[in-house]
Amino acid sequence: MSSLRKSSVEDEYWDTSRASAKKNKAFNLFDDTVSVETADDLRKSKRLLRSFDDDDDESTDTINWDGTPSAETGAGNVSFQPDSGSMLYSKSQEKLSTSLSNTSLNNQSIHDVVISNQPKTPQTNDPKKLVEQIQFLQRQLERAKASGGSKIPVDETVQRIINGEQYSLEMYKSKDDKFALLDRAIKLHDGNAITAIILFIKKTIKPSIFNLELQRRPVAANHLISYMKAHFDLKELEDLLGMLGRNEEAAMLKYKQAVSISDAGAKLKSLDMCLRAHFSANPQLSSETPLLQEHIALLERQRPIEDSDRKAELSGTVMMFKQYPRKASILNMSAVTTLYYCCFYHSSEGENHLACPEAIRKQHQLTDKQFVWTALSARARLKQWNGVDELLTTKVIYLKT
């Protein structure tokens, strides 16, 4: 009975093998074209696949040749014994993982690979530790400064400044070395190097020695003056110009500061101080002094006129300001513009009045042509044709021209 069952099982096995061979067109173990090594590899791979199938099945029923069940083997009781086939599988798996890792590395940039392989340095946010590190670095810096070290030649240091490289001027302690740097930079005609060195010398040397040496080097003085102008160190610049004996530049600097003030009262005070401190006491500015005096006088005339007219305009009682509203303030206007304003709004005022056009002409020494043309323009705009005729008949200069 068992022999019959065995023969039927074998027939069934060979039938299924032929069917699967025809269907899948796999290798035939008994084919003459298949070598012994290939057959052995196929046998081992088939054994490996069977072991995987046994692992996937939860349980397998096994019977003897006589048809009686032998035992039940669970998935947990099945053990896998690795052989040469499994070793080949593990090696191929290892090669695959290695190739994948190499592919991932190839996709990464050099920067990412370096960063990923760097050791992680612990970072601390403890303020105490940060303070200790800063103090340690400060002590190291002080030691380095105290020890001095090898001093770089002057030419090399200046060349580093010109090339934009890192440099240090702290190693030059003596006065001769410092001014040797400055002289070398002046010789090379590099403004950045001159400015950097002159600022270093200014901080590390006595003011008396610095001023004396600076007077001997006008090129360095010019660069320092330009630097102070650019950084608006006006007070220090004024002292420097006075020390160098450049009084005209100091006076003009003070005048520019005064006229830049927006408030009329503060501007008037600053101009008066500038006149007394820089212009009146300097014979070299004798030609500019009358101009500044005229500027101050004009501003002193404009202030009360502006205050009075603004109040009259706001009150609304003056018909002239209602019919012709003011478009701008008279403050900081020129003498001719002030004359036109007074001819337009105050043409009938007496000579003792600040807004009298004739008084303005006399004080600011305007020519007759300037006065006649300005007065004609104002009266023509007001359409005061009788006033135009009167002005033309009284001023014969207009007819002569």
Low-confidence ranges of the chain (pLDDT < 70): 1-124, 140, 143-150, 394-401
Report the interhelical angle of 218-230 vs 175-188 (nearest 10°). Answer: 80
pLDDT at 237: 94
Q: Which residues pair with 62 in a beta bridge?
A: 71
What per-residue string of b and e applies to 239-256 under the rule 16 or more CB within 10 Å gives b? ebbebbeebebbbbbbbe
pLDDT at 107: 54
DSSP type of residue 328? S
Sequence-distant (6+) residues with CB within 8 A of 293 are 275
Cβ distance 380 to 391 under 8 Å? no
Residue 314 has which token pair? 């706001």
Which pLDDT does position 84 carry in this prediction? Answer: 45
* Structure-token pair, residue 271: 């101009």
What is the distance, to the nearest Å, from the Cα of residue 252 to the centroid of all Cα atoms in its chain? Answer: 34
- Residue 11: predicted pLDDT: 60
Q: Residue 100's pLDDT is what?
A: 44
CB atoms < 10 A from the CB of 368, how many?
Answer: 13
Report the alpha-carbon distance of residue 198 to residue 182 in Å, rounded: 7
Distance from first CA to last CA of the chain, Å, rounded?
155
Q: What is the pLDDT of residue 148?
A: 56
Predicted local confidence at residue 141, as pLDDT? 74
Q: Which of 121, 120, 140 is nearest to 132 (CA)?
A: 140
pLDDT at 105: 47
The region, left, alpha or beta by phi > 0 then psi within -120 to 50, assigned to residue 245 is: left
Which one-letter amino acid corresponds to residue 162?
I
So what's the pLDDT on residue 85? 45
In this prediction the pTM is: 0.57
* The predicted structure's pLDDT at residue 96: 42
Q: Which alpha helices (DSSP H) does 166-217 contain, by range?
A: 175-188, 191-204, 207-215
Which pLDDT score is estimated for 144?
63
